[in-house]
């Protein structure tokens, strides 16, 4: 995995451009400590930091074609590059053995249509010196990041991470208050946007073209377009089995050792089981735990590691790591992210990076196969909404009269009841589901009154093959929550430790298959991931399938009942001109500290935002 950069500034002297590129690449050293390079073509500069995974001694970047017309800086992996290379062999004389030259050759020979033949993850910039045109592109699901800044007719800057891009953009950045509203509402910006008005992100499945003197044009090269599956449920299970096994097989291709994250849940356990039992390969697995036992999954990861006979490594996260979470936000994410599991993801990545350079993960399994608890909550909400209003009020009053537990929801029925009432409070018939919301309308109005009614429009969600609100939630989660939260967290946390992560569930054929199946095949009643169990039920021990879903929860509630709560209050009170109302925040913090209600995740979102505001200049 790598870090890439591009700069074209017609008004910048060569020496200044070189200094900015050097600073940008230094800010991304962690993304590629094995090698680095710069290339200049007129006023266009391309930079690259390399984490060597395939063709270790070759495939240096930026890479040029034999005529030096095209220059490529590329971050990612193309898993089927060997098959694609064969189809290009009659039209290109290859000089290296990796996937970088395959991508370069395909783009030169076939153009943008070549991308539809690729299976992988990527972000790249291709400069055409003859046409003086830049081409920026991201993979289907947005696993690899690519931010850009376009100003006037003569400046385009792009980079893999926001802090690195800011080294190319000297000044003139202002906060995007519409993104601020989205961040406080959902915990992250919406696709294509960032916390800065002047910095955008290439959308997943899109490419952007730009020439000096012309406006940038962004277009899709891929869309999620489900079809109506024509086979039986048994047919689908067989197809799912072969497709996922092949997706895992492809992601084991590397010239270095490949390991896997293992939480003890269905998705990561399934990936590890395929590696051990279908591919029959040795495997190192990695997990972390917490001092708070209600959030600790090490017992389950040890059991499945023992059952699969993997070499297992683990580490425990203590509360003293909270400052490291803020460092990750500022140095690697570069904008607010209300997902505190960034820290345990970074820790498990650091453990893995001591043993391997690549790790497989189970990311995408919940979105594709209906695994999230919120889908269950939506099902329960249908039943609940049919109850008489008086009975609902009595039930809500009874639950709210009891203090909200701080244990993980998988260990506490009362905690689940409180979380369900939060869902009820956020439910608005006039507002379609975009992503999980942190605040109900009244809380948002109190905390950020100046942002009421603000926010970006979400990207288009494709029509489902059958009208179903849970099916729409799954599509929205795959196109919004997954690329804006989960994949951001995993990419920045893993690359902070120079570790490449690969996600077999994000195989393009698997995505299309999963979203083409009738939703009731995925979930009936309160049971999700039925198709995974139909296809792989015998591959994992029964207790894995019977476990209550836990997810990668973090005991953030305890942080804000200690010194971090004081710091949050100081941040709010020292920013009187900001959009967050300090008095409303203090009331929320007091309610949390009194243990009447657990606002840990809401407070973390406010903390991530306010600490970013304090360091954004």
Instruction: List, in order of start, the domains of the chain with CATH numbers.
Output: 2-220 (3.60.20.10), 233-370+471-546 (3.40.50.620)
pLDDT in tens, 367-411: 999 988 788 766 666 655 666 666 656 655 554 655 655 554 555
Print the SS3 string covering 341-404.
CHHHHHHHHHHHHCCCCEEECCCCHHHHHCCCHHHHHHHHHHHHHCCCHHHHHHHHHHHHCCCC
208-217, 423-432, 529-538: lowest mean pLDDT where?
A: 423-432
Residues 6+ positions from 481 with CB-CB distance below 8 Å: 186, 367, 435, 436
Sheet holding 358-360, edge to edge: 311-317, 284-290, 258-261, 358-360, 500-502
User: Taking Cα atoms as reference points, which of 34, 42, 73 lies closest to residue 158?
Assistant: 73
- What is the average pLDDT value for the chain, to the nearest integer? 88
Decide if pLDDT at 153 tops 70. yes
pLDDT at 550: 56
State the DSSP code for 536: H
pLDDT grade for 420, boundaries at 50, 70 and 90: low
User: Taking Cα atoms as reference points, which of 246, 287, 244 lies closest to residue 263?
Assistant: 287
Percent of the chain with pLDDT over 70: 86
Instruction: Say which of 2, 125, 137, 370 is annotated catalytic.
Output: 2
pLDDT at 289: 79
Percent of the chain with pLDDT over 90: 67
Q: Which is more confident, 291 or 7?
A: 7
List, as one string, the DSSP characters of 237-288.
HHHHHHHHHHHHHHTT--SS-EEEE--SSHHHHHHHHIIIIIS----EEEEE
Cis status, amide bond into 47, omega within 30 of 0: no
pLDDT at 457: 87
pLDDT grade for 321, boundaries at 50, 70 and 90: low
In angstroms, what CA-CA distances link 278 with 241, 245, 248, 411? 11, 8, 10, 33
Sheet holding 133-138, edge to edge: 63-64, 70-78, 120-128, 133-138, 206-210, 217-220
Give 137: exposed, middle or buried? Use CB within 10 Å, 0-12, 13-18, 19+. buried
pLDDT at 171: 79
pTM listed for this prediction: 0.91
CB-based contact 600:592 (threshold 8 Å): yes
Q: Is 580 left (phi over 0), alpha (psi -120 to 50) or beta?
A: beta
As given in the structure block, the two tokens for residue 519 are 């939703």
CA angle 365, 373, 437 (to 5 degrees): 100
pLDDT in tens, 32-79: 999 999 999 989 999 999 999 988 888 899 999 999 999 999 999 999
Residues 6+ positions from 13 with CB-CB distance below 8 Å: none
Decide if pLDDT at 437 tops 60. yes
List, as one string, the DSSP characters of 48-95.
EEE---SSTTS--SSEE-TTS-EEEEEEEEETTHHHHHHHHTTT----
pLDDT in tens, 489-542: 999 999 999 999 999 999 999 999 999 999 889 987 667 899 999 999 999 998
3-class DSSP state for residue 148? strand
In angstroms, what CA-CA distances link 217 with 132, 140, 211, 349, 536? 15, 18, 10, 36, 44
pLDDT at 465: 47
Interatomic CA distance for residues 204 and 179, integer angstroms: 18
Interatomic CA distance for residues 88 and 94, integer angstroms: 9
Give 200: exposed, middle or buried? Use CB within 10 Å, 0-12, 13-18, 19+. buried
pLDDT grade for 615, boundaries at 50, 70 and 90: confident
pLDDT in tens, 585-604: 999 999 999 887 889 889 99
Long-range contacts of 418-424 (CB under 8 A, 24+ apart): 418/597, 418/598, 419/373, 419/377, 420/377, 420/380, 420/381, 420/384, 421/396, 423/374, 423/377, 423/378, 423/381, 424/381, 424/384, 424/396
pLDDT at 105: 97
Q: What is the dihedral of CA 348, 353, 357, 360, to 10 degrees?
A: -10
Mean pLDDT across 449-477: 79
Print the SS3 string covering 178-191.
HHHHHHHHHCCCCC
Q: Is 2 annotated in the active site?
A: yes
CB-based contact 459:479 (threshold 8 Å): yes
Label the pairing between strands 258-261 and 358-360. parallel
CB-based contact 30:496 (threshold 8 Å): yes
pLDDT in tens, 85-121: 999 999 999 999 999 999 999 999 999 999 999 999 9
Decide if pLDDT at 547 tops 80. no
pLDDT in tens, 241-289: 999 999 999 999 999 999 999 988 899 999 999 999 999 999 999 998 7
In angstroms, what CA-CA distances link 298 with 291, 295, 314, 415, 503? 11, 9, 8, 22, 21
User: Taking Cα atoms as reference points, which of 243, 189, 253, 316 lies closest to residue 513?
Assistant: 243
Label the pairing between strands 284-290 and 258-261. parallel
pLDDT at 580: 96
State the DSSP code for 497: T
pLDDT grade for 568, boundaries at 50, 70 and 90: very high
Interatomic CA distance for residues 460 and 567, integer angstroms: 39
pLDDT grade for 559, boundaries at 50, 70 and 90: confident
């Amino acid at each position: 995995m790598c870090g890439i950069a591009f700069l074209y500034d017609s008004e910048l002297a060569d020496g200044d451009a070189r200094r900015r590129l050097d600073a940008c690449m230094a800010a991304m050293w962690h993304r590629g400590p094995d090698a680095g390079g710069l290339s200049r073509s007129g006023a266009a500069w391309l930079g690259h930091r390399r984490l060597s995974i395939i063709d270790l001694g070759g495939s240096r970047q930026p890479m040029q074609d034999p005529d030096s017309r095209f220059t490529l800086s590329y971050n990612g992996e193309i898993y089927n590059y060997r098959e694609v290379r064969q189809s290009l062999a009659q039209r290109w004389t290859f000089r290296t053995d990796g996937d970088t030259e395959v991508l370069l050759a395909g783009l030169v020979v076939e153009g943008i249509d070549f991308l539809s033949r690729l299976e992988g993850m990527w972000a790249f910039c291709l400069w055409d010196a003859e046409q003086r045109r830049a081409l920026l592109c991201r993979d289907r699901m947005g696993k690899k990041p690519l931010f850009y800044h376009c100003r006037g007719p003569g400046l385009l800057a792009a980079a893999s991470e926001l802090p690195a891009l800011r080294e190319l953009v000297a000044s003139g950045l202002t906060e995007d208050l519409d993104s601020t509203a989205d961040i406080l509402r959902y915990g992250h910006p919406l696709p294509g946007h960032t916390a800065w008005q002047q910095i955008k992100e290439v959308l997943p499945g899109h490419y952007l073209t730009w020439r000096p003197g012309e406006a940038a044009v962004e277009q899709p090269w891929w869309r999620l377009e489900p079809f109506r599956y024509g086979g039986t449920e048994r047919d689908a299970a067989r197809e799912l089995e072969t497709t996922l096994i092949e997706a895992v097989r492809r992601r084991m291709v590397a010239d270095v050792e490949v390991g896997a994250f293992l939480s003890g849940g269905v998705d990561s356990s399934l990936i590890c089981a395929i590696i051990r039992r279908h591919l029959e390969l040795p495997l190192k697995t990695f997990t972390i735990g917490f001092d708070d036992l209600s959030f600790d999954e090490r017992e389950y990861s040890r059991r499945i590691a023992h059952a699969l006979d993997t070499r297992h490594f683990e580490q425990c996260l203590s509360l003293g790591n909270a400052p490291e979470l803020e460092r990750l936000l500022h140095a690697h994410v570069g904008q607010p992210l209300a997902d505190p599991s960034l820290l345990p993801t970074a820790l498990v990545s650091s453990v893995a990076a001591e043993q391997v350079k690549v790790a497989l993960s189970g990311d995408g399994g919940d979105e594709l196969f209906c695994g999230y608890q919120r889908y269950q909550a939506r099902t329960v909400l249908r039943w609940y909404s049919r109850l008489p209003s008086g009975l609902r009020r009595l039930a809500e009053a009874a639950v709210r009269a009891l203090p909200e537990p701080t244990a993980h929801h998988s260990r506490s029925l009362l905690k689940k009841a409180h979380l369900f009432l939060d869902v009820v409070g956020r439910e608005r018939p006039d507002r379609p589901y975009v992503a999980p919301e942190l605040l109900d309308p009244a809380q948002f109005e109190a905390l950020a009154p100046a942002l009421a009614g603000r926010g970006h429009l979400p990207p288009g969600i494709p029509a489902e093959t059958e009208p179903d609100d849970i099916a729409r939630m799954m599509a929205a989660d795959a196109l919004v929550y997954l690329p804006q939260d989960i994949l951001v967290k995993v990419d920045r946390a893993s690359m902070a430790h120079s570790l490449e992560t690969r996600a077999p569930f994000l195989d393009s054929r698997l995505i299309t298959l999963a979203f083409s199946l009738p939703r009731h095949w995925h979930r009936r009643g309160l049971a999700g991931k039925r198709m995974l169990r139909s296809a792989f039920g015998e591959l994992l021990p029964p207790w894995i399938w019977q476990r209550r879903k836990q997810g990668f929860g973090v005991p953030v509630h305890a942080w804000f009942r200690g010194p971090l709560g004081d710091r949050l209050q100081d941040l709010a009170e020292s920013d009187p001109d900001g959009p967050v109302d300090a008095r409303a925040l203090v009331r929320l913090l007091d309610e949390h500290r009194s243990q009447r209600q657990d606002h840990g995740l809401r407070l973390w979102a406010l903390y991530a935002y306010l600490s970013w505001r304090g360091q954004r200049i």
